[in-house]
């Protein structure tokens, strides 16, 4: 029998495990959220800094995604000046670092296959 992470005796295809996966994906789902979290791993950043680092995201979408991440308690918004804020990962958000590092490793190892498949090769 395969075990659920955490060493319990729950099969990996159990409803409890699938619910946990669904909850995790709900918090970080989408094209932008994991990229935003990755950008904030090292240090807090202002909106414009995040926007420059993730150049493909529109300001409107970045604003929406930052609010969702804040709602999910993954980031914290701190007002600096009346019109400026800084965003940083909470401890909850920082706990995603091992997952992000694994995604980076997987992406680097499989990029050619994934990109080749998308191009029809």
Supply the pTM of this predicted model: 0.78
C-alpha distances in Å from residue 86, one per residue of 37, 48, 54, 108 = 13, 10, 16, 30
Q: What residues does each domain of the chain span?
A: 31-118
Which CATH code of 3.40.50.300, 3.30.10.20, 3.40.1080.10, 1.10.10.10 fits the domain covering 31-118?
1.10.10.10
pLDDT tens-digit map of 47-102: 999 999 999 999 999 999 999 999 999 999 999 887 789 999 999 999 999 999 99
């Amino acid at each position: 029998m395969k075990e659920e992470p955490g060493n319990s005796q729950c099969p990996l295809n159990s409803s409890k495990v699938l619910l946990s996966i669904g909850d995790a994906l709900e918090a970080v789902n989408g094209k932008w959220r994991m990229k935003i979290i990755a950008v904030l791993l090292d240090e807090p950043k202002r909106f414009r800094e995040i926007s420059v680092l993730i150049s493909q995201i529109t300001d409107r979408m970045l604003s929406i995604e930052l609010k969702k991440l804040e709602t999910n308690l993954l980031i914290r918004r701190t007002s600096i000046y009346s019109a400026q804020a800084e965003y940083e990962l909470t401890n909850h958000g920082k706990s995603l670092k091992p997952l992000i590092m694994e995604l980076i490793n997987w992406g680097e190892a499989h990029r050619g296959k994934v990109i080749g498949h998308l191009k029809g090769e």
